[in-house]
């Protein structure tokens, strides 16, 4: 399906053309005929398949065809993390460049007063995380009773991060489900996600793409079994041997990320690390540098594993195998985006190997294994100074805010 064949307003078609979009991805081709006809849709697709454009095109089309409702928000997009909100805002401004709508991103960590005053003055589209938006709602900064379009992105992650209570608080302040259009997109449409859909959506149509194949065909996967003490020598050897232009390295805890960055710095490998408790302005600055190609290596916890579209990521490296099988899919989905090819390398030490069987069962195939021969290991490297402990011993305190695990003892607002 080609975008120019869709019955879209001219201003929206111009933004799509400016973005360089010509042919719909599979999930867009399945979703748009339904959503543009006004139906509610619950969509599932593997990461990087174009879900964001699918709901943004529907949103702009609806707002362009429906009368303005005053200075209160007309559309609301909810996402679980700040990084994803920033990404959606970027895509919305690109696709909606000629539509004339005011767009505001609402999320924690930056610009509290500026966001509040902009929201109070009136905007058409709000893209936000639940916690910051609830703060403004309780202050009476805005109302949501004029919302004509609701989008919930990464709904399963809302559950994972303990935001479901916040989400329900917000949804109960919208017009009734039959007086607005509702779109929900998620990497998985499990029972709890669909229960939420049937509670707050109007008989949603389910759309699923590649339900039996969770990892993209254009990602080359490889697994190295390696002793824990040899993980860094192997990583450094691979970085030196392979042509890695832009690399994301995933770790499970902030503590491990700090230790790895110290080792990389000692060995003259330029890298930066982001985790859930890195100040938001710093996180955004690091992400901008990485997207612009100024930073070749990004070390990250699972705060960066979902939703972010970064062109040109040649390699994803699981320095730690994730404890949650779904996170493996989201991590390696940072490469091979928009039809490109990429490589995903996983290092399984004694501890990480415990997660391997569950991961391979979830993705439906064995990860091809290569042996970490001696010639792959870097024999000459510098050891870093000891990293001071900043959040315990790699347990819950060092994971706070990262989205590293499925079960959490309490909610952390973003």
pLDDT confidence of 230, banded at 50, 70, 90?
Answer: very high
* Higher local confidence (pLDDT), 177 or 49: 177
Q: What is the pLDDT of residue 396?
A: 38
Task: Encode pLDDT of 234-267 as tens digits.
Answer: 999 999 888 788 999 999 999 999 999 999 999 9
Query: CB count, 10 Å around CB of 258?
Result: 21
CATH superfamily, with its number, for domain 3-208: P-loop containing nucleotide triphosphate hydrolases (3.40.50.300)
Check if the beta carbon of residue 49 is closer than 8 Å to that of residue 25. yes
pLDDT confidence of 337, banded at 50, 70, 90?
Answer: confident
Distance (Å, rounded) from C-alpha 58 to C-alpha 97? 15
**Exposure on the CB side of residue 49, measured as CA atoms within 13 A:** 27
Q: What is the mean pLDDT of the segment spanning 37-65?
A: 90
**Exposure on the CB side of residue 129, measured as CA atoms within 13 A:** 21
- What are the extents of the domains in the chain? 3-208, 219-399
Q: What is the pLDDT of residue 414?
A: 42
pTM for this prediction: 0.75
Whether residue 12 has pLDDT greater than 60: yes
Task: Encode pLDDT of 349-405 as tens digits.
Answer: 999 999 999 999 988 899 999 888 888 898 888 887 666 665 444 443 343 333 333
Reported as type and span, the H/E element at residue 42 is strand 41-44
The residues, any chain, with a CB within 8 Å of residue 138's CB and separated by 6 or more, are none
pLDDT confidence of 189, banded at 50, 70, 90?
Answer: confident
219-399 and 3-208 share a CATH fold? yes
Left (φ > 0), alpha (ψ -120 to 50) or beta: where does 268 sit?
left
Whether residue 411 has pLDDT greater than 90: no
Closest to 98 measured CA to CA, from 10, 212, 158, 2: 10
Can you state the angle between helices 82-95 and 10-18, rounded to 10 degrees?
120
Q: What is the mean pLDDT of the segment spanning 1-19?
A: 94
* Higher local confidence (pLDDT), 140 or 339: 140
CA-CA-CA-CA torsion for 179, 57, 293, 378, nearest 10 degrees? 70
Whether residue 202 has pLDDT greater than 50: yes
Whether residue 231 has pLDDT greater than 90: yes
Q: What is the mean pLDDT of the segment spanning 57-78?
A: 91
Q: What is the pLDDT of residue 389?
A: 60
**How many separate helices (H) and strands (E) can be counted in the chain?**
15, 14
Distance (Å, rounded) from C-alpha 195 to C-alpha 211? 19
Beta bridge partners of 379: none
Distance (Å, rounded) from C-alpha 164 to C-alpha 172? 12
Q: What is the mean pLDDT of the segment spanning 63-85?
A: 89
pLDDT mean across residues, the chain: 87
DSSP line for 268-326:
T--EEEE-TTS-HHHHHHHHHHHHTTS-SEEEE-GGGSSS---TT--EEEESS--SSHH
DSSP line for 211-258:
TT--S-TTEEEEEEE--GGGHHHHHHHHHHHS--SSEEEE-SSHHHHH
CATH superfamily, with its number, for domain 219-399: P-loop containing nucleotide triphosphate hydrolases (3.40.50.300)
Q: What is the pLDDT of residue 335?
A: 87
Q: What is the pLDDT of residue 329?
A: 85
Distance (Å, rounded) from C-alpha 133 to C-alpha 136? 5
Distance (Å, rounded) from C-alpha 229 to C-alpha 86? 38
Q: What is the 3-state secondary structure (H, E, C) of 151-186?
A: EEECHHHHHHCCCHHHHHHHHCCCCCHHHCEEEEEE
Distance (Å, rounded) from C-alpha 123 to C-alpha 120? 8
The residues, any chain, with a CB within 8 Å of residue 315's CB and separated by 6 or more, are 242, 244, 246, 247, 248, 335, 342, 343, 344, 345
pLDDT confidence of 409, banded at 50, 70, 90?
Answer: very low
Check if the beta carbon of residue 120 is closer than 8 Å to that of residue 94. no
Q: pLDDT > 90: what percent of the chain?
A: 61
Which phi and psi angles does 241 have, rounded to 5°?
Answer: -90, -40
The residues, any chain, with a CB within 8 Å of residue 299's CB and separated by 6 or more, are 249, 250, 251, 257, 260, 261, 264, 271, 272, 273, 274, 319
Distance (Å, rounded) from C-alpha 149 to C-alpha 296? 39
CA-CA-CA-CA torsion for 48, 53, 56, 58, nearest 10 degrees? -120
Tokens for 114, please give them.
């500026």
In what side-by-side order are the strands of the sheet with 181-186?
103-106, 125-128, 75-78, 149-153, 181-186, 41-44, 205-208
């Amino acid at each position: 399906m080609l975008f120019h064949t869709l019955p879209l307003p001219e201003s929206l078609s111009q933004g799509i053309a400016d973005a360089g979009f010509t042919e719909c991805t599979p999930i867009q081709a399945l979703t748009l005929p339904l959503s543009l006809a006004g139906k509610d849709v619950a969509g599932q697709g593997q990461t990087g398949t174009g879900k964001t454009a699918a709901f943004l095109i529907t949103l702009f089309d609806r707002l362009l065809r429906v009368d303005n409702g005053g200075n209160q928000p007309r559309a609301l997009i909810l996402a679980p993390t700040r990084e994803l909100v920033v990404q959606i805002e970027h895509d919305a401004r690109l696709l909606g460049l000629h539509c004339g709508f005011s767009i505001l991103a609402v999320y924690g960590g930056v610009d509290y007063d500026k966001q509040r005053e902009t929201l109070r003055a009136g905007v058409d589209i709000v893209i936000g995380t639940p916690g910051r938006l609830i703060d403004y709602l309780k202050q009476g900064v805005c109302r949501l009773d004029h919302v004509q379009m609701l989008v919930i992105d990464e709904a399963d992650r809302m559950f994972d991060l303990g935001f479901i209570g916040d989400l329900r608080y917000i949804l109960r302040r919208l017009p009734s489900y039959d007086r607005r259009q509702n779109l929900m997109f998620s990497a998985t449409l499990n029972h709890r996600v669909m229960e939420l859909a049937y509670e707050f959506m109007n008989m949603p149509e389910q759309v699923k793409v590649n339900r039996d194949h969770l990892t993209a065909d254009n990602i080359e996967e490889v697994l190295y079994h390696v002793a824990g003490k040899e993980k860094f020598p192997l990583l450094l050897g691979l970085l030196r041997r392979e042509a890695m232009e832009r690399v994301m390295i995933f770790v499970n805890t902030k503590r491990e990320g700090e230790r790895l960055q110290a080792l990389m710095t000692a060995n003259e490998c330029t890298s930066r690390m982001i985790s859930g408790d890195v100040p938001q302005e710093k996180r955004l600055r690091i992400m901008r540098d990485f997207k612009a190609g100024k930073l070749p290596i990004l070390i990250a916890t699972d705060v960066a594993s979902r939703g972010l579209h970064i062109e040109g990521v040649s390699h994803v490296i699981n320095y730690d195998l994730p404890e949650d099988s779904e996170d493996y899919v989201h991590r390696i989905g940072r490469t091979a985006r928009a039809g490109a090819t990429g490589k995903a390398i996983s290092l399984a030490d004694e501890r990480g190997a415990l997660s391997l069987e569950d991961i391979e069962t979830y993705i439906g195939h064995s990860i091809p294994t290569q042996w970490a021969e001696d010639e792959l290991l870097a024999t000459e490297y510098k050891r870093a100074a000891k990293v001071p402990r900043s959040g315990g011993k790699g347990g819950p305190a060092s994971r706070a805010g990262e989205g590293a695990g499925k079960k959490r003892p309490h909610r952390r607002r973003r």
